[in-house]
Amino acid sequence: MTSMETTTKTADQILEQLRDYVAYTLTSAKGLYREPHSYGAMRMVDSMERALHLLQEAGIKDEALELALSAVRKERWRAMTDPQGFGRAIDDSVLGLVVLSINK
């Protein structure tokens, strides 16, 4: 279920967070030219998390989606030390999204 909540953030604050998000994503893209291969998946997941956080700050939150992402959140710490384990966690979250999509 998607819920709309009253936002407590001002437009300026959200704009500032949007700048954080854009700079983070753009800088991550540049970094990938020289950084380890496995960083790509980690940066994409982190970027997605920031986008979801922005939406949440704007008053939009989808609990089913949050639940589907729980595996990747829980195993996020493996991104650098155990990339394959992190990959499996992404698999689990993707499968969660499949279930969510089919049942919609």
Give contact residues for another protein (rule: CB under 8 A): 19-20, 23-24, 27-28, 30-31, 35, 39, 43, 46, 77, 81
Nearer to another protein among residue 71 and residue 75 (C-beta): 75
Distance CA 60, CA 9 (A): 13
Nearer to another protein among residue 20 and residue 66 (C-beta): 20
Contact 71, 89 (CB under 8 A): yes
Strand partners, 85: none
Residue 89: CB minimum distance to another protein, A: 15
Nearer to another protein among residue 29 and residue 67 (C-beta): 29
Distance CA 97, CA 78 (A): 21
